[in-house]
Chains A and B, each alone.
Chain A
Amino acid sequence: MSSLLVLAIVVVIGLVAFFIGRQRAAAQDNGKVKPHSRAHYHGWWAFLLAVLPALLLLAVWAGGSSVYLDRHIHAALPERTVDSKVASEALDVSLVKSLARGLRKLDAGTLAALPASFAELQPQLAAKGVALASDTQDYMIPIAVEANKVQDRLGLFGAVIILALSIAGAFHALRQIAPRARARNNVERLMLWGLLAASTIAILTTVGIVLSMLFQTITFFESVSPMSFFFGTVWDPRFAAAGSGGSQGQFGLIPLLAGTLYIAAVALLVAVPVGLMSAVYMAEYATPRVRSVVKPALELLAGIPTIVYGIFAVVTLGPFLRDLSAALTGGSPFIQGQSIFTAGLVMGVMLIPVVSSLSDDIITAVPRAMRDGSLGLGATRSETIKRVILPAALPGIVGAILLTASRAIGETMIVVLAAGVAANLTINPFEAMTTITVKIVNQLTGDLEFNSPQTLVAFALGLTLFALTLVMNIVALYIVRKYREQYE
């Protein structure tokens, strides 16, 4: 029986248990004893007992039987020799498995008279819409047939146990029903566990991010030394096509890191003054009418996907700046179509609403009394802002700038489109440079074999990026939090 069918039956059992449970609990309420829980809690308790343990077992069983099946196929395969026709043992197993899946589509009559050679079998399978790799071997057919039998047996056996467990759970819960039974407490305890589980997903995600990238990075460092990765100044991964092997590339992080930081710096040079001044103006000067127009507009700017900014940079702004610079010098342009300046400028504009909304929160959090005190002593508004509010808000603003910087470093689509792909080391902002994120995308969108250093380097870059932004985020969040506490 397939897992999906078992799942459906279990849920049906659970629903039946729910209705019976509710019914019984309601029937027991004769007005003499005050029931502890309302009737539907008894129903839900029966439902949970019928469904949860069975589902847990179902998951374990499904995982376990697939492992068992793999081992079974492994054991049945002939000993590997030098002249084996299939490249690897793993490939052998996967071929048998896809063959076994294909055999499931055949009807009973064909299965009974199964041809012994794959050449004869293939057209029959193809007629059912099953496409198989042509290096499937003849000896795999009996193994696949056997594997299907084992799988059927395991499935049937598992289904019986799971359904029995489900029914037993339902009966157990139904037997417990009594006016003073604490069904509500039971249900609520389980709900609490569910809520707790949901909140651990955040931790699991972080662990998943770190572990997955760490393992790939370790594999990467087996073929490239960490020293030459972290301190290398040449990025030349040599896109080795699958199989050609041997040609080792150079994976120096320095040019990518330099490009990333350079572009982020340009972006911050645009975003911080403009964003901060907008926030100050909005908080201190703007009339309510201006505010009601400008604030949504800035939110709109924040809601535009970064790919749109990237396309604007590469389709409109880049060519415009190139032509402008050509017109200025009257000849060859000194700003390239893809340049640090273009990418940084557009990214800066993207970050304006980020800076302004973060600093808006921080500026409005400065206590009214400080502002009033300064104004009362005769300071003008701008003096109050420059000498009282901004110094008081400084830690918060530093935190906001750090958060913005981490956004700038991790930004992908703008730089993929507008910054260029050549890993240069230059200080001229009008030339192209590339970034960590661009290279992650480049290395992972080609058709590369997965275990080559050319692909694995993307994970090492990702881990570097993650570590970099993690430190900035944590410091920023710490500063912002400390600052908020100061005035609370």
Chain B
Amino acid sequence: MTDIPMDTMVRAAAHPRRDIGLKARYAAERRFRIYGAVAISVGLAFLAIMLITIVSKGYTAFWQTTVSLPITFDEKVIDPSGKRATDPSVLIKANYPKLAENALVAKLGISPDDKPMIQKLKGFLSEGARVQLRDIVAADPSVIGTTRDVNILAAANLDSAFKGQIDLSVEEARRKVSDQQITWMNKLKAEGAMAEHFNSGLFTYGASSRPETSGMGVAIIGSFYMMVIVLLLALPIGVAASIYLEEFAKKNRFTDLIEVNINNLAAVPSIVFGLLGLAVFINFLGMPRSAAFVGGLVLTLMTLPTIIIATRAALAAVPPSIRSAALGLGASKMQMVFQHILPLAAPGILTGTIIGLARALGETAPLLLIGMVAFVADSPKTPFDPATALPVQIYMWANEAERAFVERMSGAIIILLVFLMAMNITAIVLRRRFERRW
């Protein structure tokens, strides 16, 4: 007898230890799992980085530096020859920036005769002061000769300096704000005359060559018009087309053709729709360039397939028992669709429509081709007037070199993303609340 215990021998005989590579297989399993997790993290990390850089660059755009000055509406500056009673154009052409300059000179305690010092004030206040003061005088001419506190926009460079975005260690000649201006800025800041306010101009101004007086007002109105047009056209047409294809169409070559067409249109590059709009709507039908109406039509054609696909899915999800019940009670097929199926499919249709609208709102490429890259300063009164759109405005600011425009651009992206997120969240909430599982 050997001294090997009996039971061990039995075990060894019954379970021969075979190497089936379990260790390696489990390691491969773990590695595979890690690859998956890494892939997802890469996507999410990129999303996070992108959002963080945009927000960090753009949030300052929502504040704008203004200088509060006691403006004396001096008759000698506005109307030196006293002709305003007979010739109202004097009030339009008057040298309003001079008023602001005088007030600033007084505020900073510079001697009015010190011309070189006054020269250094150039570029401290925004050129927008001209329009701002003119509007005050035009609204109420009796203000002439009195003094009033007015918040005047600081120029874009001063605004950047005030927000601490200009590197003051760079030598003076190579930056856009002089040391003297910084001194004045700090003085005004200490006195509380220079401060940041919420930038409502970002939402109301139109295009401008100066960053501080440019805003997205025109773009917001243009985008709003386009969304209304897309909603009014794409929703009814899309729903009607889906109803036909899902409920009435017989299976034949023609409906097959329509179906292939719709699926293909959903994947056609958006820029091709822009070419269509340019060739058909503008050149052939003679519609105006840059108009929100044409943009709306192009976006409608682009959004239709999305809405049709979503609506068909929603219609198909309504169970056949509902159809049978309606038909069994004597409804015609049309009545069944419009009185029973459509209301039940409405949440799904609405969700698809909102998602389609969100896509249309962020679309840029086709709008570039129909002339919406335009310098539009006045807000469009009708959809046929020249307008821009939110993403196009962002694109135009992206092509500007000045730092302040980059800030506005990032601010505009934040606003666009907020709009889009609101729409998407509405869609998700709608789906969660009203979606019925049969």
Contact = CB atoms under 8 A, between A and B. Distances in A.
Interface of A: 184, 188, 191-192, 194-196, 198-203, 205-206, 208-209, 212-213, 215-216, 273-278, 280-282, 284-285, 294, 296-301, 303-312, 314-316, 349, 352-353, 356, 380-383, 385-386, 403, 406-407, 409-413, 416-417, 437, 440-441, 444-445, 450, 458-459, 462, 465-466, 469-470, 473-474, 476-477
Contacts of B358: 303
A444 B368 CA distance: 8
Interface stretch (B59-67, B146-154, B237-245): B237-245
B343 to A, nearest CB: 17
Nearest to B42: A274
Contacts of A465: 269, 271-272
Contacts of A413: 364-365, 391, 395
Question: Secondary structure of the A side of the interface?
Answer: helix
B9 interface: no
Q: Indicate the member of A199, A303, A385, A412 with the most B CB atoms within 10 Å.
A: A199
Nearest to A212: B279
A60 B240 CA distance: 25
Across the A-B interface, give the 10 residue pairs with the lowest CB-CB distance, nearest first. Answer: A410-B269, A305-B362, A281-B36, A198-B240, A277-B39, A212-B279, A382-B32, A412-B365, A195-B244, A199-B241
Contact of B29 (A299, A304, A380): A380
A202 B308 contact: yes
A441 B365 contact: yes
Nearest to A459: B275
Given A199-B258, A280-B36, A445-B373, A307 B241 contact: no
A407 B269 CA distance: 7
A441 B258 contact: no
29 contacts: A188-B333, A188-B334, A195-B241, A196-B244, A198-B236, A198-B241, A199-B242, A203-B257, A208-B276, A209-B272, A209-B273, A213-B272, A213-B276, A216-B279, A275-B43, A277-B40, A278-B43, A281-B39, A303-B359, A304-B47, A305-B361, A307-B395, A312-B50, A312-B54, A316-B53, A382-B31, A441-B368, A445-B373, A462-B275
B334 A192 contact: yes
B264 A206 contact: yes
B37 interface: yes
Interface string B40-62: 10111011001001100100000
B257 to A, nearest CB: 7
A160 to B, nearest CB: 28
A441 B369 contact: yes
B244 A411 contact: no
Nearest to A198: B240
B29 A311 contact: no
Interface in B144-180: none
B264 A205 contact: no
Contacts of A381: 29, 32-33
A380 B32 CA distance: 11
B249 A199 contact: yes
B21 to A, nearest CB: 11
A479 B254 CA distance: 21
B221 interface: no
Q: Indicate the member of B264, B333, B421 with the most A CB atoms within 10 Å.
A: B264
A303 B406 contact: no
B416 interface: yes
Contacts of B37: 281, 285
B304 A205 contact: yes
Interface string B383-411: 00000000100110010000000100100
A318 to B, nearest CB: 12
A477 B363 CA distance: 24
B263 interface: yes
Nearest to A417: B398
B283 interface: yes
A417 B271 CA distance: 15
B213 interface: no
B265 interface: yes
Given A305-B363, A380-B28, A412-B365, A201 B269 contact: no
Contacts of A192: 244, 248, 334
B417 interface: yes
Contacts of B341: none
Contacts of B424: 299-300, 303
Given A298-B43, A306-B364, A407-B267, A212 B280 contact: yes
Given A188-B332, A212-B279, A305-B363, A315 B406 contact: yes
Q: Indicate the member of B43, B244, B420 with the most A CB atoms within 10 Å.
A: B43
Given A281-B36, A382-B28, A195 B267 contact: no
Given A188-B334, A203-B258, A444 B278 contact: yes
B241 A202 contact: yes
Nearest to A480: B263
A198 B260 contact: no
Contacts of A477: 260, 263-264, 267
B382 interface: no
Contacts of A305: 361-364, 391, 416, 420
B364 A201 contact: no
B270 interface: yes
A384 B44 CA distance: 27
Interface in B287-315: 301, 304-305, 308
Given A299-B424, A410-B271, A465-B272, A198 B237 contact: yes
Contacts of B238: 198
Contacts of A450: 283
B401 to A, nearest CB: 12
